Amino acid sequence: MELKITVLRDEFIEIEVLKEDPAILDSLAEILQNIEGVEYAGYMIEHPLTMKLILRVKTNPAKITAREALQKALNELLNISNVLLEKVYQI
Amino acid sequence: MVDLKIVEEDEKSLKVEIRDLHLSIANAIRRLAISEVPTMAVEEILIIENTSAMPNEVLAHRISLIPFISDIDRYVQPEECTCGSKLGCDRCVVRYVLRAEAKDEPITVYSRDLIPEDPNTIVKPVSPNIPIIKLAPKQRIEMELYVRVGTGKKHAKWQASIATLYDKDGEPGKKILFIESIGFLPPRRILLEAVKIFKKKIEELKEKIMGELGG
Ligand SMILES: [Zn+2]
């Protein structure tokens, strides 16, 4: 995975990701969408040949900054992965 | 919180009921079970002799499509191996030889005719009965095969499974993840590896985003 933050503002962050499965960013986007104060979260595949992925997060900065939303979503996603792995070991 | 339950299982396939998990995460697990769970297949072939009717590259391609029972606890992908050698070491390559010759009658060469360099290896073709080539009288093949770890995204010959995800009939909120192994690994192991890979990717994503954000 190669990653670069291309826009960084209080209410908006754009991240370019290379060499990664889009489903990973899709998971992050879905978690972001459920966070209070997030107005938009989504990703696109810029071109299927380069597989450059672009993740965009837009928030209402009075409620939460884009940076805080990302941090929160990543922590939550990692928690879910940990629980999921535990459950898979149990079945 | 997320809950998993096995609803059907046999030696080749697995049906898992998933509750309280985001659709996007369940889908990521499905995709990783197809394209990123490591398995083992022939990656390189050294052809010493081939007097058969089949061209070298066609024969090599046929052999590369044979799934091998995969020991992914011992073997790693060549790019991840510490040896850095192009030939590989005992952690990244399993060597096989294939020698066959038709004397006076035509013969069929099968996957069981592949001979491992180490007779005790557990890495072997999933079935002994896969036909590779027919040889006419006096035709002969001799080659060395290098079996390595790879993933479906690198080449479809390494694809670990077929996986589908769908809603459970009449039970809202419940999903079924169906994994059918190609034979390299047991279906439970494929599920476990897919989840491990997912977690590793999320850790990497978090580390990289936090690193870029500075804090
Ligand atoms: Zn090695």
pLDDT tens, residue by residue, B15-54: 999 999 999 999 999 999 999 999 999 999 999 999 999 9
Residues in chain B with CB shorter than 8 Å from the CB of A82 are 199
**Nearest-CA distance B69 → chain A (Å):** 22
**Given CB atoms, is A69 within the 8 Å cutoff of chain B?**
no
What is the average pLDDT across B172-199? 97
pLDDT value at B125 more than 60: yes
For residue B74, the CA-to-ligand 1 centroid distance in Å is 11
The Cα–Cα gap between A32 and A17 comes to 17
Domain-wise residue ranges, chain B: 3-36+160-213, 40-151
Domain B3-36+160-213 has CATH 3.30.1360.10: yes
How many separate domains does chain A show? Answer: 1
CATH of region B40-151, choose from 2.170.120.12, 1.10.3720.10, 1.10.260.40, 2.40.50.140: 2.170.120.12
Would the CB atoms of A80 and B27 count as touching at under 8 Å? no
DSSP A34-47: TSTTEEEEEEEEEE
Pick from B23, B24, B29, B195 the residue to mutate for testing the A interface (most A CBs within 10 Å): B24
Would the CB atoms of A1 and B205 count as touching at under 8 Å? yes
* pLDDT tier, B108 (very low <50, low <70, confident <90, very high otherwise): very high
For residue B78, the CA-to-ligand 1 centroid distance in Å is 6
Of B44, B10, B41, B6, the residue nearest B160 (C-alpha): B41
Number of Cβ atoms within 10 Å of the Cβ of B164: 13
- The predicted complex's ipTM stands at 0.97
User: For chain A, what is the mean pLDDT?
Assistant: 97
User: For chain B, what is the mean pLDDT?
Assistant: 97
- Expressed as residue numbers, the domain containing A46 is 2-90
Q: What is the pLDDT of residue B175?
A: 97
Would the CB atoms of B213 and A5 count as touching at under 8 Å? yes
Q: What is the pLDDT of residue B84?
A: 87
What is the average pLDDT across A34-58? 97
What is the average pLDDT across B160-189? 96
Give the closest of B1, B153, B202 to A83, CB-based.
Answer: B1
Q: What is the pTM of this model?
A: 0.96
Strand partners, B101: B140
pLDDT value at A6 more than 90: yes
Q: What is the pLDDT of residue B215?
A: 55
pLDDT tens, residue by residue, B51-65: 999 999 999 999 999
Would the CB atoms of B205 and A3 count as touching at under 8 Å? yes
Q: What is the pLDDT of residue B87?
A: 87
- Residues near ion ligand 1 (CB < 5 Å) are B 81, 83, 88-89, 91-92
**Nearest-CA distance B115 → chain A (Å):** 36
Q: What is the pLDDT of residue B182?
A: 97
* pLDDT tier, B86 (very low <50, low <70, confident <90, very high otherwise): confident
Q: What is the pLDDT of residue B214?
A: 82
CATH of the domain at A13: 3.30.1360.10
Helix axes B187-213 and B23-35, enclosed angle (nearest 10): 110
Q: What's the DSSP call for residue B168?
A: P
pLDDT above 90: percentage of residues in chain A: 99
pLDDT above 70: percentage of residues in chain B: 100
Q: Checking phi first, is residue A85 left (phi over 0); if not, alpha (psi -120 to 50) or beta?
A: alpha
**Given CB atoms, is A26 within the 8 Å cutoff of chain B?**
yes
